[in-house]
Amino acid sequence: MSFLEYAPAPESRAVLSLKPEYGLFIDGDFRSGSGESFATISPADEKHIATIASASDADVDAAVGAARRAFDKTWSKMSGRDRGKYLFRIARLVQERARELAVAESLDNGKPIKESRDVDVPLVAAWFFYYAGWADKLDYAGLGADPKPLGVAGQVIPWNFPLLMLAWKIAPALAAGNTVVIKPAETTPLSALIFAEILQQADLPPGVVNIVTGAGPTGAAIVRHPDVDKVAFTGSTGVGREIAKSVAGTDKKLTLELGGKAANIVFEDAPIDQAIEGIVNGIFFNQGHVCCAGSRLLVQESVHDEVVDRLKTRLSTLRLGDPLDKNTDIGAINSREQLERIRELSRIGEEEGAERWSADCVIPDNGFWFAPTIFTNVQASHRIARDEIFGPVLSVLTFRTPAEAIEKANNTPYGLSAGIWTDKGSRILAVADRLRAGVVWANTFNRFDPSSPFGGYKESGYGREGGRHGLAAYLKGARA
Ligand code: ADP
């Protein structure tokens, strides 16, 4: 089969005016960090982008101090209407600087520009607009009369959706009247630092949001700081467990959004063409670096061969390469470490007897890349059916009856999301009702909206982000 070749269509980097070095954003200004600075690189070619400060315990203490002062003196005293004005202003500035943010995100993270441009950044603006609207309506959120903020929120986020996770954390916290110390992931600090410039442009009072860069120890320093009232974490289940231990026995509030191993269930009556697109979007969107990715395809036995054949044909048309090229479907894996993990689990999948198929794409010489891959003949006991791979790897299992599909879908330590593909509305409702997953998509996948709560069961964590529920995590005594 031959396809039309696409000429390169790179998005211009000229829109970015990066500094060679970035400090910590504390109390409204950038300052140098006392930890050892580190480089952030582009995962697509391993080239240096900028030097980033690392926050020591003392720097984290300064950030928490600034957040506390801002909470006591300005932010908790301000009316909800005025807080809302700042959030609306931030949302508008994100829109104004959308191209720059999208280019920075794709450069630093490796995700295709069409995703950062059309999904991540618009959702970031949407999140701020949405929570801006709540800031003066907290009394009507059904979370108690005159609900009060918690105080200083310490937030630690991962590298897969750097700016979007920042928005998920900061927007509800500020709307509810809290102040923030947030740490982006060490491989993707860039968009958060540009966001800090946006906060300056928005004239947000100093100390309301503090952005400290660094690796795990900086995150741990935020989590254990005695003057932090609330910890919000998104990342791996292993680190989530450590954080839960560190917070146990204190009166800090905690929400955790951890891993997943979602089942995407395709019944034989499903519209197959749409299902194929949904499966591809479910696991190959953002190189599969998605905690709610549909990484386990459960397909009814009668349509298994057809679905797998069509999937392979579709995957053969995906274009892997330069994340800044507007035609790219599959970008770079975010780091060498993550690439190694994906390779290792795929190797184990082959050893355990599953059958591996990878799309035949040209892998660039430099950078971190992994071709879209499907494993068939996967058993529920295989590591590739149980462990979160967090990469462009799909494990295909089969089922005969709806009951078997539900049992297999729930046979996981996780419970973040699931998908159902069928023509029958009644089946969607019946199956969704029995899936132990925080979000269930029907005849679609990976759809996000700020008004819709998101979160997990079991080892996927606890608490909800988004919607009215997302406010509850930042208000005293509130239960969504
Ligand atoms: P991932 O698998 O997505 O890399 P991690 O859980 O390792 O997820 O990282 C998510 C975030 O947690 C990152 O910002 C990372 O720096 C931070 N982090 C790592 N270890 C710790 C820790 N012990 N305490 C707090 N934060 C941590």
pLDDT profile of the chain (480 residues), mean per 10: 76 95 98 97 98 98 98 98 98 98 98 98 98 97 93 98 98 98 98 98 98 98 98 96 97 96 98 97 97 97 98 97 97 98 98 97 96 97 97 98 98 97 98 97 97 95 95 87
Catalytic hit among 186, 257, 388, 465 = 257
Q: Alpha-carbon distance 146 to 148, whole Å?
A: 6
Q: Alpha-carbon distance 331 to 392, whole Å?
A: 10
326: left (phi over 0), alpha (psi -120 to 50) or beta: alpha
Which residue's CA is the closest to the ligand 1 atom numbered 20?
Answer: 216
DSSP 43: T
Helix (H, G, I), strand (E, B) or coil at 358: strand
Residue 346's pLDDT is what? 98
Instruction: For residue 135, give the amino acid letter.
Output: A
Q: Which atom of ligand 1 is nearest to the CA of 183?
A: 14
Torsion of CA 154, 215, 36, 53, to 10 degrees: -60
Q: Could you tell me the CA-to-CA distances from 29 to 64, 183, 366 in Å, in that order?
A: 14, 16, 36
Residues 6+ apart with CB under 8 A from 404: none
Q: Alpha-carbon distance 210 to 199, whole Å?
A: 10
Q: In what order do the strands lie in the sheet with 373-376?
A: 355-358, 373-376, 393-399, 296-300, 263-266, 417-421, 439-442
Pick the closest to residue 280 from 333, 318, 334 (CA basis).
Answer: 318
Q: What angle do CA 431, 432, 435 make, to 5 degrees?
A: 90
Which residue's CA is the closest to the ligand 1 atom numbered 19?
Answer: 216
Which helix (H) or strand (E) segment is 108 a member of? helix 98-109
Residue 5's pLDDT is what? 79
Place of tokens 């995700």: 111
Task: Calculate how far, in angstroms, residue 235's C-alpha sits from the geometric centre of ligand 1.
Answer: 6
Reduced to 3 DSSP states, what percent helix, strand and coil does the chain have, rounded to the nearest 5?
Answer: 40, 15, 40
Contact 38, 227 (CB under 8 A): no
Q: Alpha-carbon distance 84 to 88, whole Å?
A: 6
Task: Calculate how far, in angstroms, residue 262's C-alpha sits from the geometric centre of ligand 1.
Answer: 21
Contact 374, 396 (CB under 8 A): yes
Q: Alpha-carbon distance 297 to 146, whole Å?
A: 46
Residue 480's pLDDT is what? 61
Task: Calculate how far, in angstroms, residue 4's C-alpha sits from the geometric centre of ligand 1.
Answer: 42
Q: Which atom of ligand 1 is nearest to the CA of 246?
A: 24
Tell me the best of 40, 54, 109, 156 to mutate to test the pocket of ligand 1, counting ligand atoms within 8 Å of each CB and taking the most. Answer: 156
Pick the closest to residue 350 from 321, 377, 310 (CA basis).
Answer: 377
Task: Calculate how far, in angstroms, residue 241's C-alpha sits from the geometric centre of ligand 1.
Answer: 11
Q: Which two tokens stand for residue 189?
A: 């600090």
Pick the closest to residue 320 from 371, 358, 275, 284 (CA basis).
Answer: 371
Backbone dihedral angles phi then psi of residue 412, each to the nearest 5 degrees: -160, 150
Q: Is the CB of 104 under 6 A from ligand 1?
A: no
Q: Which atom of ligand 1 is nearest to the CA of 243?
A: 24
Residue 262's pLDDT is what? 97
Contact 193, 211 (CB under 8 A): yes
Contact 152, 178 (CB under 8 A): yes
Q: Is the CB of 325 under 6 A from ligand 1?
A: no
Catalytic hit among 11, 100, 115, 291 = 291
Residue 257 appears among annotated catalytic residues: yes
Task: Calculate how far, in angstroms, residue 159's C-alpha sits from the geometric centre of ligand 1.
Answer: 9
Q: Which two tokens stand for residue 67?
A: 């957040």
Q: What angle do CA 193, 196, 201 make, to 5 degrees?
A: 135
Q: Which atom of ligand 1 is nearest to the CA of 214?
A: 16
Q: Alpha-carbon distance 283 to 294, whole Å?
A: 5
Pick the closest to residue 178 from 207, 217, 156, 211 (CA basis).
Answer: 207
Residue 292 appears among annotated catalytic residues: no
Tell me the best of 163, 239, 337 to mutate to test the pocket of ligand 1, counting ligand atoms within 8 Å of each CB and taking the most. Answer: 239
Which residue's CA is the closest to the ligand 1 atom numbered 13?
Answer: 185
Task: Calculate how far, in angstroms, residue 332's C-alpha sits from the geometric centre of ligand 1.
Answer: 20
Q: Is the CB of 242 under 6 A from ligand 1?
A: yes
Helix (H, G, I), strand (E, B) or coil at 201: helix
Helix (H, G, I), strand (E, B) or coil at 184: coil
Q: Alpha-carbon distance 418 to 261, whole Å?
A: 9
On average, the pLDDT of the chain sits at: 97
Model pLDDT for residues 283-306, shown as the tens digit of each residue: 999 999 999 999 999 999 999 999
Pick the closest to residue 83 from 120, 134, 126 (CA basis).
Answer: 134
Q: Alpha-carbon distance 421 to 271, whole Å?
A: 8
Q: Is the CB of 185 under 6 A from ligand 1?
A: yes
Strands 230-234 and 209-211: unpaired
Q: Is the CB of 318 under 6 A from ligand 1?
A: no
Contact 100, 92 (CB under 8 A): no
